[in-house]
Structure 1
Amino acid sequence: MVTHVSPEADGDERGALLSFLEEERGGIRRALIGLTAEQAASRPTASALSLSGLIKHVAEVEQGWIARARQERPAVKRDQSNWHECFVLVGDETVEEQLAYWEKVAAETEAFIRSVPSLDETFPLPDDPWFPPEGRVSIRWTMLHLIRETARHAGHADIIRESLDGATAFELVAREQAG
């Protein structure tokens, strides 16, 4: 798991973008170290966010944006009727399943980003009221957006974890490195 990015690790812009995204993914995954399913689902802050819900959300968001970039439909369609379900595990969903799904999504993201002819290629934005009509964005914008989205939620994960048991990101990295 990446804990610190060397932007030159892969020698190119795609490698740098993918490395930064993976670093932020790692921040969220680390927040789960040593927790039970109940702790991961708990909401110890004023926010309605939980660690298990964050995992599900970032995986769905990443998959959705890469699907759009491929000009495909996202695997999960969210609207006002089910938007709340992207932040909580429902039914028999588990943290382990969500982590495995996110790992699959991450591999698909990397394969797509490595295969697209140019990061300058554009695709249409979804027909949602918060996007400009007939707007388009580049693959590069998509990667930067995913980094920003994941980083924002990695910060949430830090706060949630510290609220649960006082563990900080630095302590969790040390635990992870200790094995």
Structure 2
Amino acid sequence: MTETTETPVGQYPVATATDERPTGEQAELLDALRAARHFLRLTARDLDDEQAGRRTTVSELCIGGLIKHVSSVERTWAAFIEFGPSVMPDFMSFTEADYEQRAAEFRMLPGETLAGVLTAYETVARATDELVSNLSDLGVSHPLPPAPWFQADTAWSARRTLIHIVAETTQHAGHADIIREAIDGAKSMG
């Protein structure tokens, strides 16, 4: 089992072996995911709650909301790796309320704090790292749930799902970097 030590925003989280650190492909995927998480968290360094919730573009995106969204995405896809499509939302019957709830992931809501959002993200990250560290086969796959954006009758392996989590985290770290630069000129990735 591998555990990520708690680190202040802006410092790279370092895995420490409590039993054995995974090797090979599992270690490489976890390293890529940790690097993506690091850059996303880095965009939040030294921000207060108001700044973390500030929109600086025409979109609804803010740094705190992006971290919330990535936490939700990682949690959902990690559950998919472990339990299959039964844990995924029923995308084909989404209601307006479902879409509004999903949109709320991208915003800091009243009462939410950056510290709380980062703590929740750290909890999700630890759970995913432990899951991946204990996987016996990255090739195990599950069918994707029906959704307009998935090809019908497609399955994703744990490997493919982890690549998706890394890509999603990296993409949103880039979004957060643009937002952060507009807040105070600070850059995380440039």
TM class, shorter-chain normalised?
0.7 to 0.9
Percent identity over the alignment is 36
Over the aligned positions, Cα root-mean-square deviation in angstroms equals: 2.4
Aligned length: 166
After TM superposition, the structure 1 stretch with the greater mean CA deviation from structure 2, 45-54 or 145-154, is 45-54
| Contact persistence 1:63–1:74 (CA under 8 A) | no
Distance 1:135 1:91 in 2: 39
Distance 1:74 1:33 in 2: 32
Structure-2-length-normalised TM-score:
0.79
Q: Which position in structure 1 is the counterpart of 2:18? A: none
Q: Which position in structure 1 is the counterpart of 2:82? A: 70
After TM superposition, the structure 1 stretch with the greater mean CA deviation from structure 2, 154-163 or 128-137, is 128-137
Runs of 4+ that moved beyond 4 A: none
Distance 2:54 2:162 in 1: 30
| Contact persistence 2:60–2:107 (CA under 8 A) | no
Q: Which position in structure 2 is the counterpart of 1:166? A: 185
Distance 2:65 2:179 in 1: 11
Q: Which position in structure 2 is the counterpart of 1:84? A: 103
**Secondary structure of the corresponding residue to residue 137 of structure 1:** strand
Instruction: Flag structure 1 segments of 5+ consecutive residues without an equivalent.
Output: 4-8, 172-179
Q: Deviations over 1:14-45 (max 9, x none)?
A: 11111111111111111111111001100112
Whether 1:48 and 2:67 are equivalent positions in the alignment is no
Q: Which position in structure 2 is the counterpart of 1:20? A: 32
Q: Which position in structure 2 is the counterpart of 1:140? A: 159
| Contact persistence 2:39–2:189 (CA under 8 A) | no
Distance 1:103 1:128, change over 3 A: same
Instruction: Please state how far the C-alpha of 1:64 moved relative to its aligned partner.
Output: 0.4
Structure-1-length-normalised TM-score:
0.83
Distance 2:29 2:177 in 1: 22
Instruction: Please state how far the C-alpha of 1:139 moved relative to its aligned partner.
Output: 0.4
